[in-house]
Amino acid sequence: MIATTLSSALRRQRLASSLIRRDMGFAKTPIKAGNGVRPQRGQNVTVHCTGYGKNGDLNVKFWSTRDPGQEPFTFAVGMGQVIKGWDESVIEMSIGERARIHCTPDYAYGTGGFPAWGIQPNSELIFDIEVLSYS
């Protein structure tokens, strides 16, 4: 009985995993609410961010603005200066909001990956993003 239950659970997990990989986009999990004011396309947005997914492991960090010597990151939202998962998720976030963003490969670094940071081609990535300001 235990072996059958475990086997069924593994099959469901593999099926769910394969469905995630076929879907395009990102999933946002709120961590902390913001002030409700969202940026406009083209505004500079400053964020703290930690990225996970080094060498295909979503528990391994590859970069963080919170690390010693690092600074918050600023970009023009909705203008294609960052990966699609950031552009489409951050434009829906308000000042002070913090969320976990799970990006499919096409909304991350795609078929090329980002080898310098240990991001393999076609990797799913997770980002912990906190919006600090807009200008």
Q: Which long-range contacts (CB under 8 A, 24 or more apart) does 85-89 make?
A: 85/25, 85/26, 85/125, 85/127, 86/127, 86/129, 88/25, 88/26, 89/26, 89/28, 89/129
Positive or negative CA dihedral for 8, 10, 14, 19? positive
- Average pLDDT value for the chain: 87
pLDDT score for 20: 40
Q: Please give the average per-residue pLDDT across 75-91, as a whole number.
A: 96
- The confidence band for 13, taking pLDDT boundaries of 50, 70 and 90, is very low
Task: Give the whole-angstrom CA distance, residue 121 versus residue 88.
Answer: 21
Task: Give the whole-angstrom CA distance, residue 20 versus residue 63.
Answer: 23
Choice among 2-16, 24-38, 55-69, 106-120 with the minimum mean pLDDT: 2-16
- The confidence band for 12, taking pLDDT boundaries of 50, 70 and 90, is very low
CA–CA–CA angle 127, 85, 51 (5° rounding): 20
DSSP letter, residue 88: H
Q: Please give the average per-residue pLDDT across 64-82, as a whole number.
A: 97
pLDDT score for 24: 81
Task: Give the whole-angstrom CA distance, residue 92 versus residue 114.
Answer: 25
Contacts of 95 (CB under 8 A, 6+ apart): 34, 35, 37, 131, 132, 133, 134
> Cα 117 to chain center, whole Å?
15
pLDDT score for 23: 62
The pTM score is: 0.81
The pLDDT tens digits of the residues spanning 85-105 come to: 999 999 999 999 999 999 999
